[in-house]
């Protein structure tokens, strides 16, 4: 197979762009939303906690 070197190059590009975008999203999102999501498991306690 000719030019197999393109594989790692493309992978690197995919990676880099994905995580740059992810990083941007995480940085820009409102903190309040994340705090709310973090509380989710604690919100629906029907039974007594020990």
Q: Which positions lie near other proteins, rule CB under 8 A?
A: 1, 4, 7-8, 11, 14-15, 18-19, 22-23, 25-26, 28-29, 33-35, 37-42, 44, 46-47, 49-50
Give 22-48 as a DSSP string: HHHHHHHS-HHHHHHHHHHHHHT--SP
Q: How far is the CB of 41 from other proteins (least distance, A)?
A: 5
Least separation in angstroms between residue 4's CB and other proteins is 5
Backbone φ and ψ of 31, nearest 5° = -60, -35
- Shortest CB 6 distance to other proteins, Å: 11
- Residue labelled with tokens 């393109």: 6
């Amino acid at each position: 197979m000719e030019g197999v070197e393109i594989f790692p190059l493309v992978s690197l590009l995919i990676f880099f762009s994905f995580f740059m975008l992810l990083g941007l999203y995480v940085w820009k999102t409102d903190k309040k939303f994340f705090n709310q999501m973090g509380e989710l498991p604690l919100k629906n306690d029907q039974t007594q906690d020990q």
